[in-house]
Structure 1
């Protein structure tokens, strides 16, 4: 931290001045704590500050899902000084519950030591404060704040200023809405309050020419951009929005016209054809009978009974013409049926060769169109992963695609698995599962390898799966833009998007025959790239290296896709727009 030339007496005088500022009732674990005090002391003694990785630790913690889950409990520790249990608002997950219990125990112990607060009174730390507001009591700590944050909003106030008390709640709400913890990835403003009667705050005011309170000064990259005097709440909100717009401009794609891309439906491509279910059942049962020796715990007869008496009757009732799943009780997904079906599926995928289970996959391909089945499979992923049909089918598809000698025999299986995975995107819970860390890698491996398959039907199904995944991301991004949220990439995976973009561009380059595949691949590329938080970082340079623009343009020329190139007017418009607007 350096050295100081100040004597002990001067430092003690400084501490006396700070006593009214650092009091027990203002303490908050995340927002006004020992590090806040230490940083002020270091600024006074040396003109420096404590390291950013320590000072900003609460912000880093709150930007994680775990920190966000515990925030209500931590706030409750300081908001309620009256005896009794601290209410927990953390979600019902094991780790947050455990941490919440520990925090409540700490709060209860601290509670018993508070004797100066009258019953029923709230502690000042969180009476109104709901987001980090950095205290600045000397020029060193303030200048450190300016250096470490791109956008800073400084509120110069004093204890004797009535207008300051009027506008302070608005300032705190803005800190909650537009501060660093709510924005993620540092794409928010740092809010600081400077009380001219505390410490060396007067020196900060003198440095920036502040002579009256309330005064708000807005900083961008350490430089003053504007100043506002008085308690005008509307003007304060406008100035904060303007500062954030200057610091973090909206995504470049929000200002370009992309009518062909916007015309594409964000609904998933689904394979809804209902096959002759008795024929499918007989085919699967014949494969079960032909499997010798049978090494699984569940007998062949038991497996056939589950499919014959439970699964197929449900599918017939659920997807029969002129029957409603909401009014026909037989057509509703039965939990016992789904559990036994999942167990039987686990058995069959272990004992049957890949070419003998595509009828079973086709049954699941149809079933996942039912929302109740989708919810069941999403829940099963967290409780019995080893019995999860999608995990099992995907792993077997990966093995088949990696085995060149089995390519001909596994074609039907690969095709059906791709259609199953595509249909899974009709359920939001299943879509989240497919894009989660546990299943995303397997799904991606199957999709990427299948995009280059020699069979056109397999390539079409793989392009459909890629489109559904990209459309799901695009829908999330569009909703954020419409709600005014920042596209911060918090819920996206950059490495996965890079892998998918690379695979799609390569598949486009190789596709010379099927215009429908080109259409779906171009749409997938558009949705992966458009509004991506990683566009200006890695994706744009990647598209340049891959020569994506030239690849897309080649599809419009003779021989690029069929003898005349792409012929459909809407597909040509889409390909041309993606090349011109997103790839350069």
Structure 2
């Protein structure tokens, strides 16, 4: 969970116990007494039933498989122990190993951390061309850094990646398959976050093939042979398609995608080919819901890509809103709205110091707190925002840790009305990616400065009148908006297991605040939240196949936010707008864009959001902003905003 943002229970090594022996794949096909391999006692024992195959026939099968399951072909993701186990179980019983083992690669690789880690894993297992030396291929630092940055916990991810790389490349030579598997297994034991199963399934018998057809809605079968030169030409394209399409797919249960390789010369592969009339290689057969839909022969890479896309498009049609034309929304940037105004930092420090000195009871570490602020924080912020300083300096990890401790102490000792200068300093600091990365790595822990400030704000939602908390809410909302300048930190704010509940509660309250500046900041935060969600969903629409409504989507959260945005839009009426028509129109603009981003590719639109829009009369609420008195005396004036409101109301509501 800390690495991927979703729960994956482990990297599973599997083996088959049959005829009193345990058989598994690592450095080739290996046999041992049950439970006596170097992996030790199994955590799970799953009864797969009885086999009608006799031991001699099974030994013949294993001898044939040894030519295919060799040590040099091992790959942590693509061709491993689980590939072999699934093949053996299919041959012996006609069944398949559980989906939570064999179909997890796409689940892992579809996470930002998994997708970013893929190049590092490939580099570890990359094999040279025949006849060339075989030096160890170190994964690039850039790839490892990208993987760490994509994780909800960059610090943990970075340390684990370093541990994997150090163990894998400790020897003067290429890492062995077993060393890398054990190294990765150590990562799993520490974080329970990855998987070892492959996006390309290997089938050597009819039972295994039929099992794959039953458990996947879309299947692309590649019939090949080792003596076929065109097969070797097209195989890299097939594998690349498997990686691309399954990384972004939702698999498991009854609705996934499988790329299957059937070698006609391996095991009973010829029987699979004969069943479907395969007479030449390479041949590709496409299946939807277990039924054959198309067949093509030859090494035509362009045609293969086209047919794969057609099958997946037909099996998993894209979100219905992809057919909607909303040019006004397309022109709205999804870049976050940031608050970059720099106050007089000496005045901010003086005000905060006066609050610290006047605290009753006196803060025990007040002298240290003021020293950290005056000597380690303020000078760096001044230099950072000085136009003639290049490159802009960043706060060190040590300074940020000290400042976090000061924040913890002050959040306990001072009332919220006196804490807003401290919040404003953090707002400025979060414009720097280094500070954002620090806060992302600390998220949810005991040294999380944003959590201290957020908890302080949440405690005030019902305990104090708006006037006493106005400045604190305003600066806190601006701070949270600036957190979206760092993608990793933004993910921690929106994580279901992170701060999202607190951020949502603060946002819902502030959208209806009596003060226009607070509502503007809240509308900006709402826009940033929705834009971040929209960017992720847009990538899904562009590249993802599988049931569009992901199992982990929180429909209740989306209903809560959409309801709050619609209520806030309704409340921006003439009486309030007359105080500041420009400000009110800005709020309406941001909230309309926020609503559109949430609705456009919502995976829970039909099940949760659509019915809500009808009940709340969302279309009428938006159109009312265009009429006199709906937003200012004459309604929304900007032609661009009027177009956006009209297109969102007509197309998404």
Scaled by the length of structure 2, the TM-score of the pair is 0.71
Select 1:354's aligned residue among 390, 394, 416: 416
Partner in structure 2 of residue 147 of structure 1: 214
User: Which among 518, 522, 525 is matched to residue 465 of structure 1?
Assistant: 525
Equivalence for 1:526: 596
Shift, 1:467, TM fit: 1.0
Provide the C-alpha distance between the structure 2 equivalents of 1:538 and 1:11, rounded to a whole number of angstroms: 52
1:400 and 1:407 in contact (8 A); partners too: no
- Say yes or no: does 1:176 pair with 2:238: no
Specify whether residues 431 and 42 from structure 1 end up closer, same or farther in structure 2 by C-alpha distance, changes over 3 A only. closer
CA distance in 2, matches of 1:346, 1:292: 17
Unaligned stretches of 5+ residues in structure 2 = 1-47, 149-156, 180-196, 578-583
Show structure 1 runs of 5+ residues with no match: 112-129
C-alpha distance after superposition, 1:151-179 (max 9, x if no partner): 2111222333333333233323332333x
Q: Which residue of 1 aligns with 2:151?
A: none
Deviating more after overlay: 153-162 vs 94-103: 94-103
Does the C-alpha gap of structure 1 residues 502 and 7 become closer, same or farther in structure 2, counting only changes over 3 Å?
same
Distance in 2 between residues matched to 1:389 and 1:5, nearest whole Å: 63
Checking the alignment, whether the CA contact within 8 Å between 1:451 and 1:507 is kept in structure 2 is: yes
Are residue 226 (structure 1) and residue 294 (structure 2) matched? Answer: yes
Deviation at 1:354, TM superposition (A): 1.4
Q: For residue 359 of structure 1, report the CA deviation from its aligned partner.
A: 2.9
Deviation at 1:360, TM superposition (A): 3.0
Alignment pair present for 1:507 and 2:568 = yes
Change beyond 3 A, Cα 1:298–1:234: same
| 1:284 Cα offset (Å) | 3.1
Tell me, yes or no, if the aligned pair for 2:565 and 2:591 is still in contact at 8 Å: yes
In terms of fraction of residues, the more helix-rich structure is: 1
Question: For the Cα contact (< 8 Å) 2:79–2:198, is it kept in 1?
Answer: no
Task: From the superposition, tell whether residues 325 and 580 of structure 1 become closer, same or farther in structure 2 (CA, over 3 Å).
Answer: farther
Which of 310, 321, 337 aligns to 1:269? It is 337
Provide closer, same or farther for how the CA distance between residues 458 and 216 of structure 1 changes in structure 2, counting only shifts above 3 A: same
Correspondent of 2:158 among 87, 93, 114: 93
Q: CA deviation at 1:269?
A: 2.8
Bigger drift between 71-80 and 267-276 goes to 71-80
CA apart distance, 1:450: 0.9
Q: Counterparts of 1:387 and 1:45 in 2: how far apart (Å)?
A: 54
Aligned length: 552
- Taking the TM superposition and a 5 Å limit, the aligned residue runs for 1:262-341 are 262-299=330-367, 302-304=368-370, 307=373, 318-319=384-385, 323-326=387-390, 332-333=393-394, 335=396, 341=403
The equivalent of 2:645 in structure 1 is 575
Q: Give the alignment partner of residue 246 of structure 1, picking from 304, 314, 320.
A: 314
Give the secondary structure class of the aligned counterpart of 1:93: helix
Contact 2:440 2:489 in 1 (8 A): no
Deviates further, 146-155 or 535-544:
535-544
Deviation at 1:376, TM superposition (A): 2.2
Tell me by how many angstroms 1:32 deviates.
Answer: 4.5
SS at match of 1:400: coil
On the 8 A contact 1:156/1:216 being kept in 2, the answer is: yes
Conserved in 1, the CA contact under 8 Å of 2:439 and 2:449? no
Q: Does the 8 A contact of 2:108 with 2:114 survive in 1?
A: yes
Q: Distance in 2 between matches of 1:346 and 1:497?
A: 32
Question: Whose RCO is larger (CA < 8 A, sep 6+)?
Answer: 2
Aligned-partner Cα distance in 1 for 2:209–2:136: 39
2:484 paired residue among 403, 407, 425? 425
Alpha-carbon distance in structure 2 between the residues aligned to 1:108 and 1:20: 18
Superposed CA offset, 1:298-354 (max 9, x none): 33xx5445555665565555556xx33427xxx744547666554444433222111
The C-alpha deviation readout for 1:240-275, integer Å capped at 9, x for no partner, is: 232222233333333321122123233333334444
Structure 2 Cα separation of the partners of residues 315 and 269 of structure 1 = 20
> Over aligned residue pairs, what C-alpha RMSD do you find?
4.1
Q: How does 1:430-469 map to 2 (within 5 A)?
A: 430-436=489-495, 437-469=497-529
Paired with 1:529 and 1:478, the residues of 2 have a C-alpha distance of: 12
Contact 2:437 2:486 in 1 (8 A): no
DSSP-derived class of the 2:223 partner:
strand
What does 1:59-74 correspond to in 2, within 5 Å? Answer: 60=107, 69=117, 72=120
How many angstroms does 1:192 deviate by?
1.4
Shift in alpha-carbon separation, 1:21–1:558, aligned structure 2, 3 A: same
TM-score where L is the length of structure 1: 0.79
Alpha-carbon separation, structure 2, partners of 1:449 and 1:294: 32
